[in-house]
Amino acid sequence: MSSAHPTSQAARPAILDEVDPVDIPRQPCVANDRSFNWITEKVCGIIEEKTPTWWWVCFVIACCTASFTVIGLGYLTATGVGVWGLANPVNWGWAIVNFVFWIGIGHAGTLISAILCLLRQKWRTSINRAAEAMTIFAVVCAGLFPVFHVGRVWFALYPGYLFPFPNANAIWPNFRSALLWDVFAVSTYGTVSVLFWYIGLIPDLATVRDRAKTKIRKIAYGIFAMGWRGSNRHWSNYEMLYLLLAGLSTPLVLSVHTIVSFDFAISLVPGWHTTIFPPYFVAGAIFSGFGMVLTLMLPLRAVYGMQDLITQYHIDCMTKIVLATGTMVGYAYGMEFFIAAYGANEFEIFAFVNRAFGNYAWAYWIMISCNVISPQFFWFKKIRENTTMVWVISLFVNVGMWFERFVITVTSLSRDFLPSSWGYYSPTVVDIFTYLGTFGLFSVLFLLFLRFVPLMAMAEIKAVTPQADPHHH
Amino acid sequence: MADKFGIIAKFDSPADIMHAAEKVRDAGYKCWDVITPFPIHGMDAAMGLKRSWVPRFTILGGTAGFLTGMSMIFFTSATDLDLGILSSGYELIVGGKPFFSPHFAFPVSYELTILFSAFASIAGMFILNKLPMHYHPVLKMDDVADSSDDKFFLYIEKQDPQFDDAKTAEFVQSLHPVKVSDLEE
């Protein structure tokens, strides 16, 4: 026992000197006993090397894809919201589906950075930076849909469709509406995610600044590093801040998808009006987010040779979370049917029978196969260790979660209370291209992140290596 | 030759710097610091630092955020106060519901509590750490650049009341550093 803990020395029970407690076997977060310097070189090497050709190829493709969204939204603004496939009775279509899909993806980033931080899960350190970046870019993609669905976008701010903005007519938004709560939840989520990400970046930006060879790099990274010098008096406040932000982000991330689910749950539409929605949406969000983290991180791990930083242990942890949350989502699907039957409300029963066997049954069964069945493969170690299989299943998760939102939104609306108004909703080509384009936008942002920002939180990874422990011998 | 700011010592491992910090703390120095590439567990105790003040900023921000949310909603939907050029309230009738209730005002106030807390905590960290500060003697020393990679440094400032050129240099040598040098202003 070192003299570092003079007080704990006194409180130490005498029995501990006689017994030799067995160390709990823990998987190392950095494989092959890599040194601090190796971690710095590896992570900084990515942004210091010459831009690889594959990056340019991906970047050009991503820009072209993103232009679909730009054109789609431009056309919508110029022509009107009629260019989307919305019509009675389905007045909510792909826009809200895409919005909920992207917001859900973001949730894994905050889960990894905040909730796993509070739970002291050390494996979060090598994936949190990329996952948080994913969160921010996903929120950007999500935000486009509610902003543009009003058609005349400039009215979103003035006279205040979205934000309460003082204007001459004293028109204020209706604070009783869950849609307005959503505006506050999502904008707070986006802002706090950016802040959390940036605070985590400061020490690493200082590392990049200290290694910079050119004047421009030194100044650019230096400004953003805020003059960080690794002082322990600073670390002390910094760590407290990081803990507080994790503590603040945890209720935030849970509230965001809860409020997103309120958009549906506080209406009186059968199939939406259920109290299970908040927990079910949050579990689904984390499920889809981890799906996206795996989709992004597995190729990066291979391309950059990061096997020592994202080890099999990390992949195991992530796939187990996908398995757990996927099973929770499956439970929620089952529980919805049970409550519909048990509640004995004929409209509710009809809504669910219609979901599974009606004209959108194809979407329902895609959702069930992707979300409930595909993650069950992760029970098997052989599959968790097969990176290709993990990646393929993660794609299924992404597809399944998009269909979940589609099923919830469209099946209920297309069969409302009046059979005379029943209809079948199909998206238009503008809907489809606008949505596809958001993947391009997301990729453009993510590729820029790869080029300019350290991909992994170096300081945090170093802190969880065995040699960072002052009692390590 | 620039003015002397203090004495800086370099260490190779977290354990070495931690033991050195304990000795400096016990020797009673006040104006000194440790530079590390990552936060070392237990270093705050080894330096004798008190609990950080950042949470005080958080609670202020959170309270301000909650009150802002509640009063904004009350003003905009339950009053017809005319603040002239600033703005005015409007008693909004929706479905015969009350103009104000803490229930429907809660989600927005909750989000603003978190938003303001986050901003206040971050502001608190920057204020307490006196950042951004792009100019500091340790940032000028090339050798110290390794402190953001894998080296550990400890410096004692000249302005410390106990600082004495010869004695402090001797004391720093006794901490078994790999290298000792003068830190220039």
Q: What are the residues whose beta carbons fall under 8 Å from the beta carbon of A312, sequence distance 6 or more?
A: A384, A385
Whose structure tokens read 């707070």?
A: A188
Q: Measured between CA atoms, how close is A253 to chain B, in angstroms?
A: 10
Residues in A touching B103 (Cβ below 8 Å): none
Low-confidence ranges of chain A (pLDDT < 50): 1-8
Q: Kindly give, in sequence order, each residue whose CB lies less than 8 Å from that of residue A351, ignoring residues fewer than 6 positions away.
A: A270, A271, A340, A411, A412, A415
- What does DSSP say about strands B32-35 and B152-157: parallel, antiparallel, or unpaired? antiparallel
Q: Which of B107, B128, B149 is the last residue of a domain?
A: B128
Residue of A nearest to B49 (CA): A233
Asked if the bond preceding B132 is cis, omega within 30° of 0, the reply is yes
pLDDT for the residue numbered A349: 92
CB A47 within 8 A of CB A221: no
A338's tokens: 């049970």
CB atoms within 10 A of CB A364: 21
What residues pair up with B155 in beta bridges, in sequence order? B8, B33
Any A CB within 8 A of B72 CB: yes
Q: Which one of B88, B106, B128 terminates a domain? A: B128
Determine which helix (DSSP H) or strand (DSSP E) holds B179, and give its type and residue range.
Answer: strand B179-184
β-partners of residue B32 are B156
DSSP string, A97-145: HHHHHHHHHHHHHHIIIIIHHHTT-GGGGGTHHHHHHHHHHHHHHHHHH
| A207–B149 C-beta distance less than 8 A | yes
A375's tokens:
């993650």
- CATH number of the domain bearing residue B44: 3.30.70
Query: Taking the CA atoms of chain B, what radius of gyration do you get in angstroms?
Result: 26
A204-218 pLDDT per residue, tens: 999 999 888 899 999
- Single-letter amino acid code for the residue at A373: I
CB contact under 8 A, A36 and B49: no
Query: Strand, coil or helix: what is A270?
Result: coil
Kindly list the residues from chain B whose CB atom is less than 8 angstroms away from the CB atom of residue A228: 131
**Yes or no, beta carbons of B145 and A188 under 8 Å apart:** no
- Torsion angle in degrees (nearest 10) through CA of A176, A178, A183, A185: 110
Residue B1 has pLDDT above 80, yes or no: no
Q: What domains are defined for chain A?
A: 31-468 (1.20.1630.10)
Tell me, what DSSP letter sits at residue A90? B
Same domain, B105 and B81: yes
| pLDDT value of residue B91 | 83
**Do the chains contact at A229 and B35, CB–CB below 8 Å?**
yes
Which residues in A lie closer than 8 A to residue B150 (C-beta atoms)? 35-37, 40, 462
List phi, psi (to 5°) of A290.
Answer: -65, -35
The DSSP-derived string for A286-355 is: HHHHHHHHHHHHHHHHHHHT-TTTS-HHHHHHHHHHHHHHHHHHHHHHHHHHHHHHHHT-HHHHHHHHHH
Would you call B48 an interface residue with chain A, using a CB distance cutoff of 8 Å? no
Q: 3-state DSSP call for residue A149?
A: coil
Residue position matching structure tokens 């790869």:
A450
Q: Which residues of B touch A173 (CB under 8 A)?
A: 76
CB A256 within 8 A of CB A107: yes
B73 and B99 co-located in one domain = yes
A231 φ/ψ sector (left φ>0, alpha ψ -120 to 50, else beta):
beta
**Whether residue B123 is found in the same domain as residue B138:** no
- Give the structural domain span for B149: 4-51+132-184
* H/E stretch holding B157: strand B152-157
B21-53, pLDDT tens digit by residue?
A: 999 999 888 889 999 999 998 898 889 889 999
> Do B60 and B34 belong together in one domain?
no
Judge if B77 and B44 occupy the same domain.
no
Residue A206: its chain B contacts at CB < 8 A?
148
Amino acid code (one letter) for A77? T
Domain count, chain B: 2
A259's tokens? 């409020």
Q: pLDDT by residue (tens digit) across B136-185? A: 888 888 888 888 888 899 999 988 888 888 888 888 888 888 888 888 87
B148 contacts in chain A (CB < 8 Å): 40, 203, 206-207, 209-211, 230
ipTM attached to this prediction: 0.92
Of B84, B101, B128, the last residue of a domain is: B128
Task: Say whether both B97 and B115 belong to one domain.
Answer: yes
Question: What are the strands of the beta sheet with B179-184, ordered from one edge?
Answer: B32-35, B152-157, B4-11, B179-184
Answer yes or no: do B75 and B141 share one domain. Answer: no
Average pLDDT over residues B103-128: 95
Residues B39 and B60 in one domain: no
Are residues B72 and B32 part of one domain? no
Single-letter amino acid, residue A216: I
Q: How many angstroms separate the Cα of B87 from the Cα of each of A181, A188, B66, B72, B76?
A: 22, 24, 21, 12, 9
Max CA pair span of chain A: 82
Backbone φ, ψ for residue A41 (5° rounding): -60, -40
Nearest Cα residue in chain B from A225? B132
How does DSSP classify residue A456?
S
- Residue B110 in contact with partner chain A when CB distance is under 8 A: yes
Q: How many CB pairs under 8 A join A and B?
A: 221
Query: For helices A94-110 and A128-148, what crossing angle results, to 10°?
Result: 160
Q: Are B32 and B138 in contact (CB under 8 A)?
A: no
Query: For residue A469, what is the DSSP state?
Result: S
- DSSP annotation of B182 reads E
Closest chain B residue to A186 measured between Cα atoms?
A: B111
Q: What residue in A sits closest to B111 (Cα-Cα)?
A: A185
* Contact check, Cβ <8 Å, A229/B54: no
Which residue type is seen at A151? Answer: G
Compute how many other C-beta atoms are within 10 angstroms of the C-beta atom of residue A238: 26
Measure Cα distances from B91 to A159, A169, A171, B123 in Å: 17, 13, 10, 36
CA distance B33 to B156: 7
- Under the phi-then-psi rule, with left for phi > 0, alpha for psi from -120 to 50, and beta for the rest, what region is A457? beta
- Mutant choice from B108, B143, B156, B157 vs A, greatest count of A C-beta within 10 A: B108
Same domain, B121 and B140: no
Query: What local confidence, expressed as pLDDT, does residue A11 receive?
Result: 66
Contact call for residues A311 and A417 (beta carbons, < 8 A): no
Which among B46, B54, B114 has CB closest to A252?
B114
- Residue B135 · residue B86 · CB < 8 Å: no
Q: Are A309 and A461 in contact (CB under 8 A)?
A: yes
- My answer on whether B118 and B62 are in the same domain is yes
Both B26 and B69 in one domain: the answer is: no
Angle in degrees, 0-180, between the axes of helices A128-148 and A429-452, rounded to the nearest 10? 150
Which tokens go with B173? 């040598």
Which residue's structure tokens are 């590729």?
A447
